[in-house]
């Protein structure tokens, strides 16, 4: 599936539920998926600095899906496919950009894996989006952070609103429970397409559920007190 086509379909699916394009609260996260064929990559790393000895190691790679979702209805706003193991901190802008281009987002939540001053600046200064990310990256310290927004997270972290970040974890749980967490495709490209199909299927399932609930509500007779 072409990425442009997938993004167009993703945008269209969200507009079915939310025509206003306004998103009050979004959340970002990533998850790994199982694959019958997992690629491995070779690394020759230094074993001892003193003896200048090396060891040969093979690392396992797996399909990784990162998303931004609407916390109010579990619709996926944007998605990118990568390979794990990999850090999340440098993926925040890439995940958020498609969602920002298509929607008006007021507030975004992300876990400590996305904690960086540049990610806060991208959300707040560049796109006028309030960001809440736990200031946990790096070594633990009681000293104030030098960054303006990470220091703000230290001083005024909103635990109650951050509790809504579990909504994105619910989205991943829904995808894996309803569609399975294993991919059937073999190549990286095919696995990326399959992950995007899972994303689109998830949004379509929510649309069908909402329409079914609306239809049932319309059929339910109104009972007025006598």
What pLDDT score does 4 carry? 80
Q: Where are the domains of the chain?
A: 3-219
Residue 166 confidence class, pLDDT cut points 50, 70, 90: very high
pLDDT confidence of residue 136: 87
Assess whether pLDDT exceeds 60 at residue 45.
no
Residue of higher predicted confidence among 210 and 25: 25
Query: 161-166 long-range contacts, Cβ below 8 Å, gap at least 24?
Result: 161/25, 161/107, 161/109, 161/132, 162/109, 162/132, 162/134, 164/25, 164/27, 164/71, 164/109, 165/27, 165/29, 165/109, 165/110, 165/111
Q: Which residue has the higher pLDDT, 9 or 211?
A: 9
Which segment of 69-78, 131-140, 210-219 scores lowest on mean pLDDT?
A: 210-219
Confidence check: pLDDT of 202 > 70 = yes
């Amino acid at each position: 599936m072409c990425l442009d086509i997938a993004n167009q379909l993703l945008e269209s699916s969200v507009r079915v539920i939310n025509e206003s394009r306004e998103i009050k609260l979004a959340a970002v996260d990533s998850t790994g998926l199982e694959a019958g064929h997992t690629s491995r990559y070779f690394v020759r790393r230094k074993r001892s600095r003193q003896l200048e000895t090396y060891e040969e190691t093979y690392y396992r790679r797996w399909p990784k899906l990162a998303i931004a979702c609407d916390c109010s209805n579990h619709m996926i706003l944007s998605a990118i496919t990568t390979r794990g193991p990999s850090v999340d901190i440098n993926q925040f802008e890439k995940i958020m950009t498609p969602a920002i281009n298509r929607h008006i987002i007021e507030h975004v939540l992300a876990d400590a894996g996305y904690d960086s001053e540049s990610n806060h600046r991208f959300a707040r200064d560049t796109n006028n989006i309030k960001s809440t990310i736990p200031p946990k990256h790096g070594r633990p310290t009681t000293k104030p952070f030098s960054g303006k927004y990470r220091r703000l997270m230290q001083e005024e972290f909103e635990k109650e609103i951050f509790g809504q970040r579990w909504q994105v974890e619910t989205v991943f749980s829904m995808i894996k429970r309803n569609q399975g967490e294993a991919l059937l495709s073999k190549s990286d490209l095919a696995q990326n397409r399959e992950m995007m199909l899972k994303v689109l299927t998830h949004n379509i399932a929510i649309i069908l559920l909402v329409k079914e609930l609306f239809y049932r509500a319309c059929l339910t007779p109104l009972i007025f007190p006598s």
